[in-house]
Amino acid sequence: MKELLLNSNRIGDEGAVSIGSNTTWTNLELLYLHQNEIGDKGAAAIGANTTWSKLKILELGGNKIGDKGAISIGNNIAWKNLVRLTLHSNRIGDEGAVSIGSNTTWTNLEELYLHENEIGDKGAVAIGTNITWSKLKKLILHSNRIGDEGALSIGSNTTWKNLELLYLHQNEIGDPGATAIGSNIVWVNLKELTLGRNNISDKGAIVIGSNEAWKNLEILHLPENQIGSQGAVAIANNITWHKLKSL
């Protein structure tokens, strides 16, 4: 069996534990379990599985997973082929995010969805300092509790040369974090950057507007911040973003 699609059911921890304990699905590549009332116990069992070495996609969004479950998933060293990990809309905080960010096994990871959790600076720093995910294309972290320290770490990352989407809206990022992100010159493939509903003012917007590396940028969203005329002028005067479609 290569695919197990059980999303939007009521599997719960008991069912997830049983699934995680399986030792016969050696060819499993896709496991969809989002919206299933799975908590830490079920997530821990899934994370402890060492049989699914061919697993490429793991969907666990919309459940009740907290730090304990996320830690188990982050500690997994068997999923060397993992391409997409979805854990959005759970109850994951810094401890769980640190474990995920510290993983050095997922060298093929391209998409990481952790939005709508309870991740703060500590977790974001661990994610930002990861040097294993060289193939990462999508990092979705909006609607968390990430501040300047976390944004500084993310903005300073030089490993994600293939990054295309970075969603950080609805966090607690101010000018220092925005400055770090705007100063990044490694993300030459960046297409979408969302930083709305943060605490960014002219200072951060000026640095973002001055970026000349993002030649493939198509979407830049900065609504509901504290940007004034100087920041708007800097963004408007950017001559690099020829592909920009939405601002």
Instruction: Quick: pLDDT tens for 215-239.
Output: 999 999 999 999 999 999 999 999 9
CB atoms within 10 A of CB 32: 18
pLDDT at 77 (0 to 100): 97
Confidence of residue 195 (pLDDT cuts 50, 70, 90): very high
What is the percentage of the chain residues whose pLDDT exceeds 90? 100
pLDDT at 68 (0 to 100): 98
pLDDT at 89 (0 to 100): 98
Confidence of residue 148 (pLDDT cuts 50, 70, 90): very high
Mean pLDDT, all residues of the chain: 98
Question: Cα–Cα distance between 247 and 244 in angstroms, integer?
Answer: 7
| Residue 200 contacts residue 168 (beta carbons within 8 Å) | no
Q: How many CA atoms lie within 13 A of 221 on its CB side?
A: 19
pLDDT at 240 (0 to 100): 96
Question: Cα–Cα distance between 232 and 225 in angstroms, integer?
Answer: 12
Confidence of residue 28 (pLDDT cuts 50, 70, 90): very high
Could you read off the pLDDT of 65-79 as tens digits, one per residue? 999 999 999 999 999
| DSSP secondary structure, 11-23, as one string | -HHHHHHHHHT--
Beta-bridge mates of residue 5: 32
Tell me the three state secondary structure of residue 113: strand
pLDDT at 5 (0 to 100): 98
